[in-house]
Amino acid sequence: MFFSFSPYLLIDRLGIAKTEFGYWFGLNALALMVTSFIGGFGVKYLSIRFWMGLGSLCMLVGGLMMTAWLYYSGLSLAAVMVPMLIISAGIAWTVSPSVAGAMTPFGHVAGSAAALLGCIRFGGASIVVTLMVTLGSMSALYFASCVCILSLVTLISFIFIIKRRHTVVY
């Protein structure tokens, strides 16, 4: 969603230069890479369950933080980017461990499993984001609300799957 909303919010609404937008976009990408590295390294010491739970909570906290910041202070660069960095950490700490956990039972067909999982992830994301952008407004508060809703869905799904399986997640 950040890819779809951020140019409109930062360039069109806040009026920052396109070059500056590139730096902020790059900072977000760097945060995603660094936190992915931390999660990838950390999964050796803490469980996939831990990283998925932490990631889900980070996305929710970032979404709630952005919603509150926008509601009380209005649109600003900090109101979008500071919570977005927290959300990006949550994404990194949720996606990588979930992929590893989902593919573990299919080691003998890892390439096919990865391709199918990627198709489902990116196909589903494109449908959800297209619907959100088409059906909703392009306001920052709408973006923050969508992040909150999707992170709640992630957290509830995570809790439901863990409780339902009654197994140890690696």
How far apart CA 59 and CA 92 sit, in angstroms, is: 10
What is the span of the domain harbouring residue 62?
2-165
Q: Is the pLDDT of residue 170 over 60?
A: no
Assess if residue 170 is contained within a domain.
Answer: no
Whether the per-residue pLDDT at 154 is higher than 70: the answer is yes
Q: Rounded to an integer, what distance in angstroms lies between the CA atom of residue 94 and that of residue 158?
A: 10
Q: How far, in Å, CA of 99 to CA of 81, rounded?
A: 26
pLDDT, residue 166, reads 53
Say which CATH number the domain at 157 has. 1.20.1250.20
Q: Which of the residue ranges 86-90, 150-154, 163-167 would you say has the lowest mean pLDDT?
A: 163-167
* Residue 132 located in a structural domain: yes
What average pLDDT does the structure give for the chain? Answer: 83
User: What total of structural domains would you count in the chain?
Assistant: 1
The mean pLDDT value for 98-113 works out to: 76
15 within domain boundaries: yes
- Per the CB < 8 A criterion, the answer to whether 52 and 155 are in contact is no
How is residue 13 written in tokens? 């609404």
- Residue 165 has a pLDDT of 60
Number of neighbours of residue 53 by Cβ within 10 angstroms: 19
* 49-94 tens-digit pLDDT: 888 889 989 999 999 999 999 899 888 889 989 999 999 999 899 8
Is pLDDT above 60 for 167?
Answer: no
Q: What is the distance between the alpha carbons of residues 139 and 67, in angstroms, rounded to a whole number?
A: 11
Cα torsion 30, 34, 36, 37: sign:
positive
Q: How confident is the model at residue 13 (pLDDT cuts 50, 70, 90)?
A: confident
Mean pLDDT over residues 159-169, rounded? 64
Tokens of 45: 């010491």
